[in-house]
Amino acid sequence: MTEPKGKEHDDIFDKLKEAVKEESIKRHKWNDFAEDSLRVIQHNALEDRSISDKQQWDAAIYFMEEALQARLKDTENAIENMVGPDWKKRWLYWKNRTQEQCVHNETKNELEKMLKCNEEHPAYLASDEITTVRKNLESRGVEVDPSLIKDTWHQVYRRHFLKTALNHCNLCRRGFYYYQRHFVDSELECNDVVLFWRIQRMLAITANTLRQQLTNTEVRRLEKNVKEVLEDFAEDGEKKIKLLTGKRVQLAEDLKKVREIQEKLDAFIEALHQEK
């Protein structure tokens, strides 16, 4: 139905097809039993923690790296919206920061200094740290609300965390040998890679299971729905008038009426002959 229509396309049934499609999708519900079965399959897939070869290890690292890069890009965009354009964009595109963006930028710079002093900082700021940041900003003439500090910290720490995770991901590229032989190396603790491998494997098994279910069960159930919808529409005169329109339909209706009149006339003539 979504394919481009050629010159020989007959559009008389387009409205009907669209209505049948929408109604069939509305009536179709995923089999509850299949959901329970899928949940068990996913659980069993996630329980497996053993990566058997280097190819699977590299695929998991690529999957992890791709996910982290996507989140990092979103975070960079969020920070840019928060603090406004950098000096390069301000010069090239004649853009300026708003007053709120200037405050966010000063707060971001202050938080980055604090994070640089303690790269192992936990994800949340303590109340005394918020007070310190606020006083440091006030000494430079920047009035800031604690909630703004927390919002800015969330994005700053998120970017720091994602960059650290990406660096660790690169280190783990050579970690399969250590993992396979159960070596303990604090620098190469690659449990994250195993986690992403489990998720990736679970997704692949889920997709394969759903594909089999679609071809073996759901297609037949959907086909049955389509037939039921067509039968319902066939019994609904108003639906047919609404969905089957155009000159050809009107011509067919007129021909049907002519045919009915002709049949009645033929029957009347035959009755006259019989009387004679």
pLDDT at site 3: 72
Helix axis angle for 14-27 and 219-234, nearest 10°, is 120
- Mean local confidence (pLDDT), 241-267: 72
- Does 229 map to a domain? no
**Domain span at 183:** 48-188
Token digits of residue 196? 């992403």
pLDDT at site 139: 92
Helices (H), the chain: 14-27, 32-47, 54-83, 87-93, 99-117, 127-138, 146-171, 176-180, 191-213, 219-234, 237-243, 247-275
Least reliable range by pLDDT among 152-156, 206-210, 244-248: 244-248
CA-CA-CA-CA torsion sign (73, 78, 83, 88): positive
pLDDT at site 247: 64
- Does 40 map to a domain? no
Please tell me the total count of domains within the chain: 1
Predicted model pTM: 0.68
Place of tokens 């007129």: 254
Could you give the percent of the chain with pLDDT greater than 90?
A: 41
Average pLDDT taken over every residue of the chain: 85
Helix (H, G, I), strand (E, B) or coil at 24: helix
Least reliable range by pLDDT among 121-130, 187-196, 200-209: 187-196
From the list 28, 11, 40, 20, the residue with the least C-alpha distance to 202 is: 40
The rounded distance, in Å, linking the Cα atoms of 100 and 83 is: 8
- First CA to last CA distance, the chain: 60
Could you give the percent of the chain with pLDDT greater than 70?
A: 91
- Does 251 map to a domain? no
Confidence category of residue 110, pLDDT binned at 50, 70, 90? very high
pLDDT tens for each residue of 21-31: 888 888 888 77
The rounded distance, in Å, linking the Cα atoms of 192 and 88 is: 37
- Does 158 map to a domain? yes
The rounded distance, in Å, linking the Cα atoms of 179 and 254 is: 80
- Does 184 map to a domain? yes
- Does 80 map to a domain? yes
The rounded distance, in Å, linking the Cα atoms of 92 and 105 is: 19
- Does 26 map to a domain? no
Confidence category of residue 222, pLDDT binned at 50, 70, 90? confident
pLDDT at site 1: 66
- Does 242 map to a domain? no
The rounded distance, in Å, linking the Cα atoms of 66 and 263 is: 73
pLDDT tens for each residue of 61-103: 999 999 999 999 999 999 999 988 887 877 777 778 888 989 9
The rounded distance, in Å, linking the Cα atoms of 156 and 124 is: 11
